[in-house]
Amino acid sequence: MGFFRRKKKTEYTPTSWMIKRECLNLIFECAKSSFPNEFGGLLRVDTESKDTIIEVIILPGTISGDSHAIFQMHMRPIDFSIVGTVHSHPSPSARPSDADLHLFSKYGKIHIIAASPFNEESWKAYDYSGKEVEVAIV
Which residues are catalytically annotated? Answer: 38
What number of H helices and E strands is found in the chain?
Answer: 2, 10
Whether the CB-CB separation of 66 and 86 falls below 8 Å is answered with no
Q: CA 42 to CA 110: how far, in whole Å?
A: 10
The angle subtended at Cα 16 by Cα 11 and Cα 18, nearest 5°, is: 105
